Structure formats: structure tokens, C-alpha cells
Amino acid sequence: MYFQWYPGHMTKAKRAMQEDIRLIDVIIELVDARIPVSSKNPDIDIMAKNKPRILLLNKSDMADPAQLEAWVAYYEKKGYLALAVNSKKKNEIKKIHELIQKACREKKERDKKRGIINRPVRAMIVGIPNVGKSTFINTFAGRSCTKTGNKPGVTRGKQWIRISKQVELLDTPGILWPKFEDQTVGQHLAFIGSIKDELISGVELAVDLIVFLTQNYPGTLETHYQVSETQDPAYILEQLAKNRGCIQKAQEPDYEKAAFLMLDDFRNGRLGRITIEHPCPDV
């Protein structure tokens, strides 16, 4: 299957983000914990060089716990402050405050030497569409936050959300685009539902997912759909269709319906905590 992507005003958005990055002290980058490579845009590495970086492996509630641990260790080794999070959970936020302070320790010390005390750290959220940026901002900012309003000359009309006395957040997240040159990236983004279903073949994608699951998470399909995993993937999809009542008028299996049923179960975590991309030394 060929995955195509129409990035739209990519250059313009990139330039705007570069402007924003100049105003901030720390970048909080969100990736999807199930595909930490494909959901990470390498442009940010260039745009954000010299800035402290926090990497949040979001949607961790749907990712394989052992792989999460391995990914956090992997990114820490690469110099990030990395953390697995579930953006829907308010109780995870405290750890992020600690990380922000840790990331900005040097800056705070520099400020102190220059007589600047208690200036809030300015942070910005970045990530590709659908990784959970808005959800994270809502949970992180909570109800108690106040918009700080425009400060002409200082913020150039940007809106900041005051999270606490110590942190201000740029209220519009920086949107990056996935790297689509690599077809595996497209496939992985389609697995998690980050590509419009109209642009993909559900059946082909479901067959790809069946191959992945039988190899990497054996027993999952058998448990959830009572299918035999020793069969070939197309036959497994047929069995799944029959077992779940995805049948067309002429009693033929409805492959398309069965494919999206399975994809939907996977995307919503109903097949268990599964990670598609596993860290390896040369990623």
C-alpha cells in the first residue's frame, strides 16, 4: 500500500514555529508511545538545537510497559529528559513540573547571576497531529490557569497560559508533520489511526497488522477473536469476520468491516497494551 500525504502550508508553519521557539526556554515534545520513531519529526531536532528538550511518550496507557521502559532509557541516553505519560490523567502532571525545572536549571542559574529572580520558565508543546497535544495542554493547564494576555514587544502578541508561578505555556501547540518519505512510517501512522481511513485500504492495513501481531504479540488475536493464528493472515481476517458477524448479504465475509473492527479495537487499546516500534541501537 502506498501512503500519500499532503502537507499543505508546511514551510509557512515551520517558519512560524521557528519564531515561537526563539521565545521559549524549554520544548516539550510529544510522541505516540506506540510508535515513538514514526511519530517524531526530525525537523524539531534542527529547529530546537540549543534548547532544553523534554520528550513525552504519550498515550502510554496503550503501550507495552516493557517497551515504554526501554524507550525512556533509549531517549535518556540520547540526552532527552524522557517520561512516559497519559495526558488524560491529571496525577501525572507533577512529574512534568519536576522535569521542566530540571531542564531549566542552567537557565535559572544564569538568570540568578544576572539578578533575574522568579522569572517563569516558558514552555512550548510540539508534535505531529493526533499525538495528544491539545489533551496534554488541557490537562497540564487545568482550570486554575489564566491566560496572561498580550505583552506587546515581549511576546509579539502570543498568548501564554500561566500554569503556575514557575511555568508559562505558549497556548498554541507547534504542529509538525510526519516524515512520509519512508513507507513504514506511513504504515505505522495508519495503524494508530493518524491517517484518514479514506486514504488507506483497510483490508491491506489489517492484514499487515495481523502479520505484526502474530509475530510480536502471539495469542492476542486468538484470545480476542477466537481465530487460529497458525493460518495465513487473509484466512485469519476471514475467520475474524465470521466470528464477529461481519457478513454480507450473500453470506460472504465482509472483509472491510472486519478489518476496521480489528483496527478500531487496536487503536482504542482493546487488544491490550501493544507497541509497534521497538527500540534498537541504531534507530
Q: Is 205 exposed, middle or buried (0-12, 13-18, 19+ CB in 10 A)?
A: buried
Q: Which amino acid is at 93?
A: I
Shortest Å distance, C-beta 135 to ligand G4P? 3
| Binding segment toward ligand G4P, per CB under 6 A, in 125-133, 157-165, 199-207, 221-229 | 125-133
Assess 233 for contact with ligand G4P (CB under 6 A).
no
The residue whose Cβ lies closest to ligand G4P is 132
- Looking at the Cβ atoms of 44 and 207, the one nearer to ligand G4P is 44
Assess 155 for contact with ligand G4P (CB under 6 A).
no
- For the chain, count helices (H), then strands (E): 11, 8
Angle, CA 196 vertex, CA 207 and CA 33 arms, to 5°: 75
Q: Which of 212, 196, 191 is nearest to 259 (CA)?
A: 191
C-alpha grid cell, residue 66:
516493557
Assess 39 for contact with ligand G4P (CB under 6 A).
no
**Interface with ligand G4P (CB under 6 A), residue from 39, 41, 67, 86:** 86
Assess 275 for contact with ligand G4P (CB under 6 A).
no
Shortest Å distance, C-beta 243 to ligand G4P? 26
| Binding segment toward ligand G4P, per CB under 6 A, in 1-9, 57-65, 200-208, 237-245 | 57-65
Assess 58 for contact with ligand G4P (CB under 6 A).
yes
Q: Are the C-beta atoms of 124 and 24 separated by less than 8 Å? A: yes
**Interface with ligand G4P (CB under 6 A), residue from 101, 135, 148, 166:** 135
Assess 186 for contact with ligand G4P (CB under 6 A).
no
In sequence order, which residues have a C-beta less than 8 Å from that of residue 215 and are 6 or more positions away?
none
Assess 127 for contact with ligand G4P (CB under 6 A).
yes
**Interface with ligand G4P (CB under 6 A), residue from 134, 164, 184, 226:** 134
Q: Is 86 exposed, middle or buried (0-12, 13-18, 19+ CB in 10 A)?
A: buried
Q: Is 60 exposed, middle or buried (0-12, 13-18, 19+ CB in 10 A)?
A: buried
Assess 172 for contact with ligand G4P (CB under 6 A).
no
**Residue 15 and residue 36: Cα distance in Å, rounded?**
24
| Binding segment toward ligand G4P, per CB under 6 A, in 44-52, 58-66, 161-169, 252-260 | 58-66
Footprint of ligand G4P (CB under 6 A): 58-59, 61-62, 86-88, 127, 129-135
